[in-house]
Chain A
């Protein structure tokens, strides 16, 4: 199983070689590769994936979070990467605790992460350390609560 995964995706293979502690888990499902990485390694891995000449994941298409309430670790943040040269997709996943969820911003690697992270902060309350301008983006500035969390009712608090 392990060796099959290694063969399948060059990104997984290269990461295992150069940063053995960086991969917590590899999930192959429905033709998509997900690499679960520890939160404190995310920025280093992102830099590596974006700049390594054999991978070149230069295009960050999306960041989205999932709330697994009441499970712990409660939050997942997913980063969907595209290598324009190799035409491959890859998903990075970071798991965060329910208390004070925070992860380092990837804006130094992909400037496009700016608004994606603001949106995730706005709707989930996940903090991105080192983000240049972490404000609410869709909800009004004075809004209380984080609407896409599972303990936030669909009808809102009234």
Chain B
């Protein structure tokens, strides 16, 4: 389909076989299509075809007020909705110049780290099931469910949380929520040990992942990959450390790196990141004050408290105006990056001084990381393509937006 190079074989010239993998292939994690050119079982060329899930989120954002856009960000990376919420809110806050109260910042850190854990658990489970290790999938989804219950308790939603709002949080977190978090972080390290018992020394697992999908540090930087993919190639770039946001500079954590640059190294990095995230969650639990505002005060931009809205005329007017016509940030443009579970999630936001963003661009880490797929799997066996797709940890909603 793409090229017609002939290959000399002992029995004469042969054409490479073209194989369409996806868009409905179970191991492509959604609707990714890869056009593979094969010589026997060897992949000569891989061409990812994307766009099957393109819903025009960036265009839709231009037709919504800033607050309304938050609900769309949930749907970009549906495995890490809170990270997307955070990226969008931080960009808008930078544009307007809002200082978010410390309490809200710590709660944001706690919840986004839990998001990182759930996202890595889904990755671990699906990657393992792709490679034939069924039980890890069942275990990791069991633990994920416990964290999803925390989301539901805090925000009312399991997946499309929209819990972070411009200036802080949507609601005061319900009483006793930290006890639930405590229960999860107490049991999680043991569960991670369980997964490691099943996989880390497993000969089949090592055979399927070690040396598969190699990416050198130089290539990784040139291809712009970020997140665990980049760190598994030995580059210690983490947005949380390099460009701290939401008080990450007050937390003590290590950037997990490996130098092997293969699928196994990425597995090691992600499992280690789950443990680091647990560490950050524990620190955040200690830091979060029990009392204090959960969102900043900025009349006309951030909604007044319920009580103020009911008792003061200004509060009522602001409430009405914010929820009918929105608010207008000053003209300007900002780029705000956060470390999502998949890498650098950037939000480029342009305001023209009206109540709707003039342009929002999401720098989706999956989109960029997927670009390196041909580098990972060309010259290797067809079966390794599954391992390579799994190890890049793509979410097609984010690739296509």
A binds B: yes
Which residues of chain A are near B288, meaning CB under 8 Å? none
Q: Return the contact of A80 from the options B223, B346, B371 (Cβ within 8 A).
A: B346
Given A62-B348, A110-B224, are A32 and B334 neighbors across the interface (CB < 8 Å)?
Answer: yes
Which residues of chain A are near B368, meaning CB under 8 Å? 112, 115-116
A110-152, CB under 8 A of B: which get 1 and which 0? 1110111001000100000000000011111000000110000
Q: Return the contact of A89 from the options B97, B235, B335, B350 (Cβ within 8 A).
A: B335
- Is B363 close to A, CB under 8 A? yes
- Is B313 close to A, CB under 8 A? no
**Are the C-beta atoms of B348 and A80 separated by less than 8 Å?**
yes
**Are the C-beta atoms of B224 and A138 separated by less than 8 Å?**
no
**Are the C-beta atoms of B95 and A66 separated by less than 8 Å?**
no
**Are the C-beta atoms of B400 and A138 separated by less than 8 Å?**
yes
**Most B CB within 10 A of own CB, among A31, A64, A78, A137:** A64
**Are the C-beta atoms of B363 and A84 separated by less than 8 Å?**
no
Which residues of chain A are near B333, meaning CB under 8 Å? 29, 34, 66, 78
Stretch at the interface among B19-27, B58-66, B138-146, B273-281: B58-66
Residue count of chain A within 8 Å CB distance of chain B: 36
Stretch at the interface among B48-56, B126-134, B188-196: B48-56
- Is A91 close to B, CB under 8 A? yes
- Mostly, the B contact residues are mixed
Which residues of chain B are near A58, meaning CB under 8 Å? 221-222
How far apart are the CA atoms of A82 and B122 in the complex, in Å?
30
- In chain B, what residue has the closest Cβ to A140? B51
How far apart are the CA atoms of A82 and B368 in the complex, in Å?
15
- Is A158 close to B, CB under 8 A? no
**Are the C-beta atoms of A84 and B221 separated by less than 8 Å?**
yes
- In chain A, what residue has the closest Cβ to B62? A154
- Is A48 close to B, CB under 8 A? no
- Is B70 close to A, CB under 8 A? no
A16-53, CB under 8 A of B: which get 1 and which 0? 00000000000001111010000000000000000000
How far apart are the CA atoms of A147 and B56 in the complex, in Å?
8
- Is B287 close to A, CB under 8 A? no
How far apart are the CA atoms of A31 and B334 in the complex, in Å?
9
- Is B380 close to A, CB under 8 A? no
Rounded to whole Å, the gap between the CB of A68 and the closest CB of chain B is: 9
Which residues of chain A are near B223, meaning CB under 8 Å? 111-112
Rounded to whole Å, the gap between the CB of B185 and the closest CB of chain A is: 30
- Is B253 close to A, CB under 8 A? no
- The A-contacting residues of B in range 218-232, CB under 8 angstroms, are 221-226
B367-394, CB under 8 A of A: which get 1 and which 0? 1100100000000000000000000000
Rounded to whole Å, the gap between the CB of B131 and the closest CB of chain A is: 27
Which residues of chain B are near A91, meaning CB under 8 Å? 335
Rounded to whole Å, the gap between the CB of B204 and the closest CB of chain A is: 34
Rounded to whole Å, the gap between the CB of B104 and the closest CB of chain A is: 20
Rounded to whole Å, the gap between the CB of B52 and the closest CB of chain A is: 9
**Are the C-beta atoms of B50 and A138 separated by less than 8 Å?**
yes
- Is B158 close to A, CB under 8 A? no
Which residues of chain A are near B54, meaning CB under 8 Å? 138-139
Rounded to whole Å, the gap between the CB of B93 and the closest CB of chain A is: 11
- The B-contacting residues of A in range 42-96, CB under 8 angstroms, are 58-62, 64, 66-67, 78, 80, 82, 84, 87, 89, 91
Which residues of chain A are near B60, meaning CB under 8 Å? 154
Rounded to whole Å, the gap between the CB of A32 and the closest CB of chain B is: 6
B235-279, CB under 8 A of A: which get 1 and which 0? 101000011000000000000000000000000000000000000
**Are the C-beta atoms of B95 and A114 separated by less than 8 Å?**
no
Which residues of chain B are near A110, meaning CB under 8 Å? 222, 224
Q: Return the contact of B363 from the options A34, A61, A147 (Cβ within 8 A).
A: A61
**Are the C-beta atoms of B344 and A154 separated by less than 8 Å?**
no
Which residues of chain A are near B361, meaning CB under 8 Å? 62, 64
Q: Return the contact of A78 from the options B94, B337, B348 (Cβ within 8 A).
A: B348
How far apart are the CA atoms of A30 and B333 in the complex, in Å?
9
Which residues of chain A are near B401, meaning CB under 8 Å? 138
Which residues of chain A are near B210, meaning CB under 8 Å? none
Q: Return the contact of B222 from the options A32, A78, A87, A112 (Cβ within 8 A).
A: A112
Given A114-B371, A138-B51, A154-B62, are A30 and B332 neighbors across the interface (CB < 8 Å)?
Answer: yes
The 4 closest A-B pairs by CB, nearest first: A112-B224, A64-B361, A62-B363, A138-B51
A interface residues with partner B (beta carbon < 8 Å)? 29-32, 34, 58-62, 64, 66-67, 78, 80, 82, 84, 87, 89, 91, 110-112, 114-116, 119, 123, 136-140, 147-148, 154
B interface residues with partner A (beta carbon < 8 Å)? 50-51, 54, 56, 58-60, 62-63, 94-95, 97, 221-226, 235, 237, 242-243, 332-335, 337, 344, 346, 348, 350, 358-359, 361, 363, 367-368, 371, 400-401
* Additional pairs, 18, CB under 8 Å, beyond known A59-B237, A62-B348: A29-B332, A30-B334, A61-B363, A66-B359, A67-B359, A78-B348, A80-B346, A82-B242, A84-B221, A84-B237, A119-B367, A123-B58, A138-B50, A138-B54, A138-B400, A139-B54, A147-B56, A148-B58
